[in-house]
């Protein structure tokens, strides 16, 4: 969760009230954030570190925190009217098609008559960095540029330019460089060098220039020195570029709603015309209000208390959400302002009503649900923990591998054909995250691959979930808890892995069928008919049948089947065998491996 550092003295001055540290911590709790730490600085000042929700981008600066607290504490009641104005001759930003393949989206706005002081200027810069690390995903999805409007000339162009064909002086530098020179120069910058890879290998770099070809910025890396803002800047040109159209818009809204309070006309932002080959739009666009209609019954049921319709609007106003009751007084209509991009669903409104109502009040007055519940481990988790402990005591090492893997790991390297049983990720971030595994073998084999220099033998196991597609579940897929164990040595030593399987089965009160047959004869002759002696009675056994599986050497593979004599049911648990040399070659494993893989859910 993001942590925002604010000056205690400045925050209290904005709130127009002082609190003890304990009292302010309680205010934070009631609002739904946390006072994470209190820092005493060497100059005698004190800073608060406040942990905020990851989706509350409006709380990433002191302006947003102070504004939110003022409404929550009732110091302000008239909600801001966030509005945009469109001059007769608006500033224009033209998108050239040459940039579409690199960083296609851009929006812009102008803050007029801004009055900065040292604190607000620092906060303006800090908010941009917080947004870059949060919603912008370290400038990958979006990045912000802010410029002194009086130092540049409209119209602006956003285009893709080969790195050797433009020159400028980067921010806080004195040397004029081209695109390649910029990369070389910023390699020495500990902060900015982390972002150079985002465009370094592109044939063209995204560049924003003005009418005179002066470079304002090279997103997402750096702005130009020519248009930098200072304490004396009064008109600020804000541009946001990126790969995600929605997030680009949200970021622009956050910067504008936070700092338009310092404009000549507070909360008023001037629109910029964005022109492209597909048409023209004006940003930011706050004319289309998003509205949510939420029933009072839904709110009351969610909180556990009756929400009085006379007060629900007050609760929402405390959270900066304009609201009004519907004509039939059974629901509330919420108009979502641009400052609250986190409001997406009725449940988000419910959360804010609960905060406005008061967590302490809810705890003291809510009706306890008429149910009796006892906390306990889920049976599958209890079984997994018990098995894991026994396997560890037997000298085996547990691993935990990723649930996501590549198609090659799940199928090709195991010599298996794709069976349409895997849940495939629609837009994977890389080849190693293409689908949810359908067996635990890939993780274990990859672990052996990376442990080749470890002294043999390697005795590894994993107890975790695999995922299968199925029409039997409403979500179209099912998790299945499995156990997979692997033995690697100078020889396959199949008897070692077979012995471990016997131990696992015995722990689950399942004898091998030969042992079961002998036990049954003994039990039947020493006990009364139909009698079951606790601790001595077995109602299940297992067998291993010869089988063929492409990932195992032919003739060494077996199918593990569990028989339940009480339920008269048989279940195929999995397989066991010596791994095929081709599979070992695919995973770059230079020594023999034997393994088994079973479903442990039938033991529950």
Banded model confidence at residue 287, pLDDT cuts 50, 70, 90: confident
| Predicted confidence (pLDDT) per residue in 495-523, tens digit | 999 999 999 999 998 888 888 888 888 77
Q: What is the mean pLDDT of residues 515-541?
A: 75
Banded model confidence at residue 240, pLDDT cuts 50, 70, 90: very high
| Predicted confidence (pLDDT) per residue in 264-282, tens digit | 999 999 999 999 999 999 9
Judge contact between 260 and 267, C-beta under 8 A: yes
Fold classification of 379-603 (topology level): BirA Bifunctional Protein; domain 2 (3.30.930)
Q: Is the pLDDT of residue 530 over 70?
A: no
Q: Is the pLDDT of residue 363 over 90?
A: no
Q: What is the DSSP string of 28-78?
A: HHHHT-EEEEEEE-TTS-EEEEEE--TT-GGGSSHHHHHHHHHHHTTS--S
| Predicted confidence (pLDDT) per residue in 147-173, tens digit | 999 999 999 999 999 999 999 999 999
| Predicted confidence (pLDDT) per residue in 69-107, tens digit | 999 999 998 999 999 999 999 999 999 999 999 999 999
Domains 83-283 and 379-603 share a fold: no
pLDDT at 534: 65
What does CATH list as the number for 83-283? 3.50.40.10
| Predicted confidence (pLDDT) per residue in 429-452, tens digit | 788 899 999 999 999 999 999 998
Q: Is the pLDDT of residue 536 over 80?
A: no
Q: List, in sequence order, the alpha helices (H) in 508-576.
A: 513-526
Banded model confidence at residue 369, pLDDT cuts 50, 70, 90: low
Q: Is the pLDDT of residue 42 over 70?
A: yes
| Predicted confidence (pLDDT) per residue in 242-253, tens digit | 999 999 999 999
Regarding pTM above 0.75, the answer is no
Tokens 């009292």 found at: 23
| Predicted confidence (pLDDT) per residue in 6-23, tens digit | 999 999 999 999 999 999
Banded model confidence at residue 349, pLDDT cuts 50, 70, 90: very high
Per-domain residue ranges of the chain: 3-72, 83-283, 290-365, 379-603
Nearest 5°: phi and psi at 542? Answer: -135, 160
Instruction: Give the DSSP H or E segment for 488.
Output: strand 477-488
Nearest 5°: phi and psi at 526? Answer: -110, -5
pLDDT at 474: 86
Q: Is the pLDDT of residue 335 over 80?
A: yes
| Predicted confidence (pLDDT) per residue in 539-562, tens digit | 899 999 999 999 999 999 999 999
What size, in residues, is the chain? 604
Tokens of 526: 């020493």
pLDDT at 225: 96
Tokens 């410029």 found at: 147
Q: Mean pLDDT, the chain, as a whole number?
A: 92
Q: What is the DSSP string of 312-357?
A: HHHHHHHTT--EEE-TTSSEEEEEE-TT-TT--SHHHHHHHHHHHH
Question: Helix, strand or coil for residue 363?
Answer: helix
Banded model confidence at residue 535, pLDDT cuts 50, 70, 90: low
What Å distances lie between residue 98 and 93, 94, 161, CA to CA? 15, 12, 8
| Predicted confidence (pLDDT) per residue in 95-143, tens digit | 999 999 999 999 999 999 999 999 999 999 999 999 999 999 999 999 9
User: Which CATH architecture group holds 290-365?
Assistant: 2-Layer Sandwich (3.30)
Q: For residue 37, give the nearest of 19, 53, 24, 54 by alpha carbon.
A: 24
Fold classification of 3-72 (topology level): Phenylalanyl-tRNA Synthetase; Chain B, domain 1 (3.30.56)
Tally of CB atoms within 10 A around 16: 10
Question: Helix, strand or coil for residue 167?
Answer: strand
Instruction: Say which residues have a Cβ less than 8 Å from residue 76's Cβ, sequence separation at least 6.
Output: 67, 70
Q: What is the mean pLDDT of residues 356-361?
A: 88
């Amino acid at each position: 969760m993001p942590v925002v550092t604010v000056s205690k003295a400045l925050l209290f001055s904005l709130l127009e009230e002082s609190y003890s540290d304990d009292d302010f911590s309680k205010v934070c709790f009631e609002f739904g954030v946390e006072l994470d730490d209190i820092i005493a600085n060497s100059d005698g000042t004190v800073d608060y570190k406040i942990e905020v929700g990851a989706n509350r981008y409006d709380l990433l600066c002191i302006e947003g925190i102070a504004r939110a607290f003022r409404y929550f504490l009732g110091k302000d009641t008239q909600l801001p009217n966030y509005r945009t104005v469109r001059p007769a001759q608006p500033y224009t930003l033209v998108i050239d098609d040459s940039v579409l393949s690199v960083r296609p989206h851009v929006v812009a706005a102008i803050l007029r008559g801004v009055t900065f002081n040292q604190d607000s200027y620092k906060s303006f810069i800090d908010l941009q960095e917080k947004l870059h690390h949060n919603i912008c995903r370290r400038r990958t999805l979006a990045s912000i540029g802010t410029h002194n409007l009086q130092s540049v000339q409209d119209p602006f162009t956003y285009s893709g330019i080969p790195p050797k064909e433009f020159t400028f002086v980067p921010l806080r530098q004195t040397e004029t460089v081209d695109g390649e020179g910029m990369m070389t120069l910023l390699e020495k910058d500990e902060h900015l060098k982390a972002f150079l890879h985002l465009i370094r290998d592109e044939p063209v770099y995204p560049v924003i220039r003005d009418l005179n070809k002066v470079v304002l910025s090279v997103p997402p890396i750096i702005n130009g020195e020519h248009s930098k803002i200072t304490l004396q800047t009064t008109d600020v040109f804000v541009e946001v570029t990126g790969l995600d159209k929605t997030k680009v818009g949200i970021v622009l809204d956050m910067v504008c709603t936070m700092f338009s309070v310092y404009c000549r006309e507070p909360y008023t932002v001037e629109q910029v015309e964005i022109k492209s080959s597909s048409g023209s739009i004006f940003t930011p666009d706050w004319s289309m209000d998003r509205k949510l209609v939420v029933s009072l019954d839904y709110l009351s049921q969610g909180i556990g208390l009756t929400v009085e319709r006379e007060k629900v609007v007050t609760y929402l106003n405390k959270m900066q959400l304009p609201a009004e009751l519907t004509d039939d007084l059974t629901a509330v209509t919420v108009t979502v302002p641009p400052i609250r991009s986190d409001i997406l669903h009725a449940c988000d409104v419910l959360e804010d009503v609960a905060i406005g109502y008061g967590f302490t009040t809810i705890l003291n007055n809510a009706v306890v649900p008429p149910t009796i519940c006892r906390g306990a481990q889920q049976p599958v988790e209890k079984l997994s923990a018990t098995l894991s402990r026994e396997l560890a005591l037997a000298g085996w090492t547990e691993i935990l591998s990723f649930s996501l893997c590549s198609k090659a790991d799940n199928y090709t390297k195991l010599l298996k054909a794709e069976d349409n049983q895997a849940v495939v990720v629609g837009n994977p971030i890389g080849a190693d995250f293409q689908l949810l595994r359908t067996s635990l073998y890939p993780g274990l084999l990859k672990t052996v691959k990376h442990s080749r220099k470890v002294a043999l033998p390697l005795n590894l196991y994993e107890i975790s979930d695999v995922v299968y597609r199925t029409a039997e579940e409403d979500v179209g897929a099912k998790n299945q808890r499995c156990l997979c164990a692997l033995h690697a040595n100078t020889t396959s030593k199949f008897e070692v892995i077979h012995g471990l399987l016997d131990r696992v089965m015995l722990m689950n009160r399942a004898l091998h069928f030969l042992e079961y047959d002998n036990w049954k004869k003994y039990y039947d002759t020493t006990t009364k008919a139909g009698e079951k002696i606790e601790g001595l009675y077995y109602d299940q056994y297992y067998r291993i049948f010869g089988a063929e599986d492409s990932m195992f050497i032919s003739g060494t593979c077996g199918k593990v089947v569990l028989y339940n004599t009480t339920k008269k049911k048989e279940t195929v648990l999995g397989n066991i065998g010596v791994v095929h040399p081709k599979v070992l070659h695919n995973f770059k494993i230079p020594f023999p491996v034997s393994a088994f893989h079973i479903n442990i859910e039938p033991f529950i």
